[in-house]
Structure 1
Amino acid sequence: MNYKSYTTEDFVLDQKFRNWILNPDTELNLYWAKIIKDHPDKISEIREAINVTLNIHDFKYKISPDRSMEIWNYINNNMDHKEADVQEGNKVIPLNSQSVIGWNMHQKRKRTRYFLRYAATLAFAILSGVVLFFTFNQNDVSEPVAQNDEWVIKKNPWGQKSTIFLSDGSEVVLNVGSTLRYLEDFSDNERILYLDGEAFFTVSKDSLRPFRVFSGELMTEALGTAFNVKAYPEERNISIALESGRVQITPLKGKNTPVTLEPGLKMDYDEENEKLRVTSFDSREIISWKSGIIYFKNANEQQVFSKLEKWYGVNFQVNDLPGDKKWSYTAEFTNKSLENVLRSIGFSMNFNFYINNKNVQITYN
C-alpha cells in the first residue's frame, strides 16, 4: 500500500485504518506503528483521520435484516445489467476518496423519495469491495454501521477531573482538559487505551495482557504499575513519570529506541525535534494533582496563571507586570477554592483580583 500520497480522506476510507481505530488488536497496532514510523510526514493527516473516524463512530445505527433484504431485492430487480457485466478481475467501483465524500454530502441534501436508490448504490459498493461506512435511515442522516466492540470515550473539560474504573480492575485518574478512549471490555491479549491530555494510571497485574497507552507519538506499555502520562496536544511535549513498577516507552516516530523506566524516573519527549530525556522527578510536582493538590515550584507568572486556568476552567486577564517584579513562586494548595488560592498568591505577589463567573481580572498594586 502506497501511503505516501494518502490524504486525510484516504485514511478515513481505508478499511484497515478504520479497523485499527475502531477495533484495534496487536497486529494492527504494530502495523500502523510501522506506517507512522515510515511516514512521519503523514502524522497530521493520520490525526485528522482519527478524529473524523471517531466522530462518525459516535452515531449508533444498524440496518435491520428486513431492510437489508429490501435493499438486495431492489438491486436484483433494478441494477443496470450493462454495469454488472464486467470482467471477473474488475469488480471494484472506481471511486476515489474525494468523490465518495462528495457523494455522501450530496445525498444528505436529498429527500426521502431517493432513499432506495442511494441504499442500493451503497450496497453495491460494499459488494464490490468499496466499504462505505455511511448508512442512511429514512431521515437522511448518515450514520456508521454498528461495531461489535463498544468504545468508551471519557472527556473532561477544563476545570473538571474524574476517576475511571476499568473492566480489568485498573484505575485511571483523568486530569482537566483530557480525553481517554478505550474498549468497554478489553481483548484477550492486550489492554489498549488512547490519551489526549493527562492521566494517572494504576494498572492491575495481568501478565497475559499488556497495558498499552497511546499518547501522541509514544506508546507506553506496562503489566502492573502506577505511572503518569501528560500529553496535551497543544504543548507538543509528552512527559511520562513512573511511580512504581516498570514501563517500556516506544516512540512511534523517528529513530529513537524503546526506553524502560524504573520508579522515580520520568521521560520527556519533544515531538517537534524527536528528542527524549530521562531524569528523576519530584512526585509532588508531577503527580500530586490526582490528590487535589496544586503545586508550584519556582513558577513564573505565566506558569501560575496557566495552571490555574486549566485547573478551575477560567480565563485570566492580567495587566502588565511591573518591570522590577519577577516571579519565583513556590506553594501548594489542597482542595482550595479559586478565591482562597488567589487571595494567598495575591498577598505574596502583591496584586488584587476580581472574579466574574469564568473571567478573572488581575491588577498589580
Structure 2
Amino acid sequence: MPNQSADTLLQSFRNKVTRNIVWAGAITQLLLAGVQVWLVHYIQAAVLLAAAIVLAVIAYWYRSKRIPDVWRVIFMMLLTSICFASIRTNGAIGVYWAYPLLVASFFMFRDGFAIALASVVTIVMSAAALLYMPVSDGWRITASLLVILVLGSVFVVMLGRMQKLLHQLVVTDTLTGLQNRHRLNNVLSQLIHNFRRYHRPASLIMLDLDHFKLLNDKHGHLFGDQMLKQLAARLKATLRINDQLFRVGGEEFLVVMPETELEEAVKVAEKLRLAIANTPFDGKDAQAHLTISIGVAQLRAEQTWAEWINTADTALLEAKRKGRNQVCKAESYTPTA
C-alpha cells in the first residue's frame, strides 16, 4: 500500500465503493425475494432472485478490479425497473425504494454522468408515482425526489472539485509547484510499457544542487527555499515541452524524458547545467552562484522503474565524485527489448 501512487489509491477507493454498492443491491434483492416467497408472490420472488444473482456475479467477478461502466448502467437500469414495478404493484410502499436508488446513482458514476443518471432515475420514479398513485401523492413524491436530485447534484459537483484539489495537493510539491514522487510511479511505469511494447526509448536526468547545505548554513533556510523555487523555474523553462520535472528530495530533482535516447538526453542535461551555472541567482538579501551535478540514464531492457532511477542516481553520484558541476551518463546501455 505505501508504494502505491495517489492516483492508484484514489481509483482503488472508488472501485471499492462501487463494489460495495453492488453487493448491497444484491443482498437487498435477495432479502426482498425472501419476503415475496413468504407472501406467496412467486413470480416477483423469481425476478428479485434473478436480479440478486446477476448483481452478486458482477460484484464477485470484479472484486479485484474496476467494474466497467456498462455493468454499472445495467445495475442501475435493473434496480430502476424493479423499483418502477414495485410502485406499480404496491403503490406508496414501493416508493420507499426510489430514494436509496436515487442516492446510489450519485456514487456509481462521477461528475456530469452521475447527475445525468440521477436525473433519469428521478424522471422514471416520478412518472411511476404520477401514473400509479393519486395525483396529490404523486406530486409530493416528485417534489421530494427533485429536492434530493438538486442536493445530490450539488454534493457531486463539490465533491468532484474537492477531490481534484486534494489530488493536486497530494501530487504537487508545495514549495516549487512541481510534481512530486506520488505521480512518478505511474509516469515511469507507462514509459516502461511503451518501451517494451512499442520500443520507444526514454531517459532520466537525475540532478542535485551542489553544496546546498553550505548555502543554507550561510544564508538560512528561507534563502535556500528561494533558491530552490528559482532553480525549479529555471529548469522548467529550459526543458522541452514533453519533458516532465519532479522534485524527489530536498535539493534533488528528476527529469523524465519520453522518446529520448541517451545522447540526446545528455545534450539536454548539459543545457540544464549551463542554465544554472552561467547566471547567478538573486535572493532577497544576497546573490548566489549555484551549480548542479547531473546523472543521465536511458531505460534498459527488463529494468523496473526503481532500477532505472537507481541507475540515474549512480551516474549522479559519479558526477559528484568527479568534482560536481558536470554531467555523467550511465554506461553499459543495452538497447534491445
The structure having more radius of gyration, on CA atoms, is 2
Q: Say which structure is richer in strand.
A: 1
Mark yes or no: TM-score above 0.5: no
Q: TM-score, normalised by structure 2?
A: 0.25
Q: TM-score, normalised by structure 1?
A: 0.23
